[in-house]
Amino acid sequence: MMFRRRQSARGRVALVTGASAGLGRAIAVALARDGARLVVHGRDERRLAETARATGGVPITADLADPAQVRRLADEALRRAGRVDVLVLNAGTGWAGRFTDMPEGGVGHLLAVDLAAPITLTRALLPQMLARGGGRLLFVTSIAGRMGVAGEAVYAAAKGGLDAFAESLRLELRGTGVTVGVLVPGVVDTGFFERRGAPYARRRPRPLPPERVAEAAVRAVATGSAEVHVPGWLRLPIAVKATAPGLYRTLAGRFGERV
């Protein structure tokens, strides 16, 4: 089952993690509008039920910090939907503050949710995509994983690791019909910053509505794009860092702020 360029999600089964609120909910709603059949994941049962009602999706609750629950999520999605054609790995958590102030257990929890869980879920659901000869994997990373952010060292490391995993897997899956994409958003106007322990206090860039980022996610699924940046100008600082790292670090040290 091969996907063609710019093919809508109509009739495809899409599993979206972290869909009980924020960006994940917006992505689920946008995919449903594009015709996808949804399986939605979250931890908050009440909010997840609301997303399921809004999308006509199948709700499955799971704590992604627990590897056994990650595997259960994959098994239950296949049992209840029959297959997964599109896997959007959006769920994540954050923590803001000095690295040495991070609470005991915080590092392991963040890495489990943001890095280990997406890898484990991909491992569980990729074989059935390969068996059918097609599928879409979309990893929601972050500009923090490309640039590094003071006060979010572990979060940036997790997202950077997810980027490297996606790039490596893309090369491995070439020619199989399964595409691997990354969605690299900047600041999105959701409750993420309150949950990480510090509100977003920068003057710029201004947070983006989650619906705008969700539409970019749907385009990435439709086209099989390798990477999509939202907003598009995020490519510029990434390019400066890659081509002139010394200049980038000088500018970051002079003008950079914590997010």
- pLDDT tens for 125-144 read 999 999 999 999 999 999 88
Q: How confident is the model at residue 229 (pLDDT cuts 50, 70, 90)?
A: very high
Q: What is the pLDDT of residue 243?
A: 78
pLDDT at 7: 75
- The vertex-231 CA angle with 227 and 235, nearest 5°, equals 60
- Inter-CA distances, 49 with 3, 22, 45, 158, 259, Å: 30, 14, 6, 29, 31
Q: What average pLDDT does range 224-239 have in this prediction?
A: 80
pLDDT at 1: 43
Position 255 pLDDT exceeds 50: no
Is the pLDDT at 4 greater than 50? The verdict is no
For residue 23, the tally of other CB atoms under 10 A from its CB is 28
Is it the case that residue 233 has pLDDT exceeding 90?
Answer: no
The model's pTM = 0.88
- Percent of all residues in the chain with a pLDDT value above 90, rounded to a whole number: 68
Q: How many Å apart are CA 208 and CA 1, to the nearest integer?
A: 35
Give the pLDDT mean for 57-63.
98
Query: 206 pLDDT band (50/70/90 cuts)?
Result: confident
Instruction: Return the minimum-mean-pLDDT range out of 31-35, 78-82, 182-186, 231-235.
Output: 231-235
Give the per-residue pLDDT at 133.
97
Residues with active-site annotation? 155
What is the per-residue pLDDT for 205? 65
